[in-house]
Amino acid sequence: MMLDPFFEGLIKLPNTDTHNCFACSPVNSSGLQMIFFSDNNRVYAKVVVPTHMGGWNRIAHGGIIATILDETMGWAGIYLLEQLTLTKTMTIDFAKAVMVGEELRCEAWVQERTGKREAIIKAAIYDTDNEICAESKGIFTMLSLALARRIKLTDAAFEKSFFDPLIKCKHQAGATVQPKHEQPISKEEIT
């Protein structure tokens, strides 16, 4: 897949082949194999919905669109807030049909951190004409690694192979990336 000029200059976020996530695993041949980027203000996903995930008349199934939005918001929470995140609630507004086989861009950002363990994250999917196809808003529960380990959602191997490289990537990039949007998230919103 050729890189769309939109993604040039963004940080490509590291992923690992040690998991089988339907949305983002690079080794799940039945999945979406989403690829993520960031400008340290937002997380961007590049994805093409495969034909086997289509519904009627080549239209991507609404559940697949929901998965793309949810996964991008989840990665935004992990990367931008530097904590594991779990979806608590999510609403979606479908604006335009998405066709299978069409390259999509999904963007997610932290709208607000509402408490010590909760944040509101938003996302939007754009088609190749840069038109919004769907928008979502989610309330996400944030978990420290220690808590996630204690309740058996993660382990040292996951942290070493997935979480640590992702956060290291963010800190190495620092402010060297040119934001794609004029309104970056304020530090108060993500701390």
The angle that helices 164-173 and 62-81 make with each other, rounded to 10 degrees, is 60
What's the residue count for the chain?
A: 191
**HSE-CB of 8 using CA atoms within 13 angstroms:** 5
pTM assigned to the model = 0.87
Asked if 88 and 57 touch (Cβ cutoff 8 Å), the reply is: no
Tell me, what DSSP letter sits at residue 161?
I
Q: Which residues contact 189 (CB under 8 A, 6 or more apart)?
A: 110, 111, 112, 113
Q: What is the residue whose two structure tokens read 């041949």?
A: 29
132 contacts 123 by C-beta, under 8 angstroms: no
pLDDT of residue 171: 85
Q: Position of tokens 């009627």?
A: 56
pLDDT of residue 176: 53
Listed in sequence order, the DSSP H helices in the chain are 62-81, 145-150, 156-158, 164-173, 187-190
From first to last of the 191 residues of the chain, give the pLDDT tens digit: 455 778 888 989 988 887 878 888 888 888 888 899 999 999 999 999 998 888 888 899 999 999 999 999 999 999 999 999 999 999 999 999 999 999 999 999 999 999 999 999 999 999 999 999 999 999 999 998 888 889 998 888 888 888 888 888 888 876 555 556 544 443 344 33
**What domains lie within the chain, and their CATH numbers?**
19-167 (3.10.129.10)
| Distances, alpha carbon 95 to alpha carbons 43, 86, 126, 185, in Å | 21, 25, 10, 25
First to last CA, the chain: 36
Name the amino acid, one letter, at 184: P
What's the pLDDT at 93?
A: 97
